[in-house]
Amino acid sequence: MAEPPGDRILVTGALGQIGTELVSSLRESYGKDNVIATDIRVPDEESSFPDGPFSNLSVLDGTGMEKIIQEEGIGTVYHLAAILSATGEKDPELCQRVNVGGTVCVLEAARDFELKVFAPSSIAVFGPDSPDISLQSSPLNPTTMYGKTKVTGEILGLNYWKQYGVDVRGLRFPGLISWKAPAGGGTTDYAVDIFRAAIEFGHYECFVSEDTRLPMMYMDDAIRATERIMEADLESLGDSRAGYNIKGISFTAGELADKIAERIPEFTCDFIPDFRQKVADSWPNDVDDQPARDDWGWKADYDLGRMVDEMISNIS
Ligand code: NAD
Ligand code: AKB
């Protein structure tokens, strides 16, 4: 392995739901010019984001990635580019190509240039045989293509650490709820879309049933968890390093609609499940995150009420 070309940060998939917030947070911590945002898309002309360096890059372009790493003096990659579960069920081949192929490109570059990598996993690694509250050690038998690519990502990440010493870290994010950027084609998108619909139209048609309960998390907690695990001492991380369970909030779609209606009394919600119901039914209700608590002191801050208040006041 060569020396890292520098200590700047590269973010892939930076225009997505997480990237939009993570790039801003990293720029506050490390300086605007030290965080290079990249995506296969280009930013909207009217958008103020990304307020700093941006390059057009596909994560499947290994040569282009290595060129940016060398030219920009990169030492750490936050690898966010992916195809999420709902889009992945519609186009499983694209999902496999981007999620597995992109991760291999990033890990190979990290191996060549001795880079540190954050590569998120998902609660989608669990399948129908997992307990309602899935443990770190519960079986990983997902039925979706997206879930299978996330299991592969964790296996690859741990393998690159054990075989080549690449410092790869990851979290099994629950469904993330945020207001700055739209959700990007996942099954948990209803828990984001419902807020804008409630505020703009007073009504939402939810694509999962009222009693669907899934693990979720407010974005501020997810960004904090990402920064925490990346700052954690190397020795504190165990074999879960490529995909720690992190617990946020667990609620049903009906409970979410009720909480919103407490704040917006005219709000109504219909529940009309589509193909995403099957995906949601294959995932656990919640996760247990004891190893993340023990190894690097993880604890979420937001409960359902606080998250709903923040979403409504920020969107309004
Ligand atoms: P997103 O869909 O909002 O953003 C992904 C970004 O990747 C998009 O901007 C897209 O243009 C880009 N992209 C797609 N193909 C690309 C390619 N070939 N090259 C470069 N960029 C490409 O996703 P997100 O919600 O920001 O998720 C980021 C990561 O976090 C993913 O790995 C996802 O699996 C994981 N995750 C997200 C959630 C969530 O609820 N948002 C939950 C669990 C895990
Ligand atoms: C999705 O629904 O696909 C994502 C996830 C939980 O990984 N939000």
Where in the sequence numbering do the catalytic residues fall?
146
Centre a 10 Å sphere on the Cβ of residue 274 and count the other Cβ atoms it contains: 11
CB of residue 187 inside a 6 A radius of ligand 2: yes
* pLDDT in the model for residue 51: 87
Both tokens of 240, joined, read: 């879960």
Q: What are 286's strand-pairing partners?
A: 133
Over residues 237-263, the pLDDT tens digits come to 999 999 999 999 999 999 999 999 999
Both tokens of 270, joined, read: 């219909």
Distance CA 106, CA 112 (A): 10
Q: Which of 17, 80, 85, 178 for mutating ligand 2's site (highest number of atoms within 8 Å of CB)? A: 85
- Do residues 239 and 197 touch, judged by C-beta distance below 8 A? no
Distance CA 47, CA 111 (A): 35
Q: Which residue has the tokens 């974005």?
A: 219
Atom from ligand 1 closest to the CA of residue 59: 19
Distance of CA 18 from the midpoint of ligand 1 (Å): 7
β-strands 249-252, 213-218 pairing: antiparallel
Q: Which of 11, 18, 100 for mutating ligand 1's site (highest number of atoms within 8 Å of CB)? A: 18
- Do residues 264 and 199 touch, judged by C-beta distance below 8 A? yes
Residue whose C-alpha is closest to residue 82's, from 131, 147, 24, 32? 147
Residues with CB under 6 Å of ligand 1 are 12-13, 15-19, 39-41, 58-60, 80-82, 84, 98, 102, 120, 122, 173, 175-176, 184-186, 188
* pLDDT in the model for residue 46: 81
Q: What is the pLDDT along the chain (316 residues), one digit of tens a residue?
A: 568 999 999 999 999 999 999 999 999 999 999 999 999 999 988 888 788 999 999 999 999 999 999 999 999 999 999 999 999 999 999 999 999 999 999 999 999 999 999 999 999 999 999 999 999 999 999 999 999 999 999 999 999 999 999 999 999 999 999 999 999 999 999 999 999 999 999 999 999 999 999 999 999 999 999 999 999 999 999 999 999 999 999 999 999 999 999 999 999 999 999 999 999 999 999 999 999 999 999 999 999 999 999 999 999 9
* pLDDT in the model for residue 48: 80
Atom from ligand 2 closest to the CA of residue 187: 2
Distance CA 223, CA 134 (A): 22
Query: For ligand 2, atom 8, which residue shows the shortest CA distance?
Result: 175
Q: Which of 17, 21, 151, 168 for mutating ligand 1's site (highest number of atoms within 8 Å of CB)? A: 17
Distance of CA 19 from the midpoint of ligand 1 (Å): 8
Q: Which ligand is nearest to the CA of 184?
A: 1
Domains of the chain are: 8-174+219-245 (3.40.50.720), 175-217+248-286+302-315 (3.90.25)
- Do residues 138 and 283 touch, judged by C-beta distance below 8 A? no
Distance of CA 88 from the midpoint of ligand 2 (Å): 10
The burial of 2, by beta-carbon neighbours within 10 Å (0-12 exposed, 13-18 middle, 19 or more buried), is given as: exposed
Question: What is each CA distance from 85 to 56, 225, 291, in whole angstroms?
Answer: 24, 22, 26
DSSP state, residue 123: G
Query: For ligand 1, atom 29, which residue shows the shortest CA distance?
Result: 80
Find the helix packing angle between 219-231 and 17-30, rounded to 10°.
50
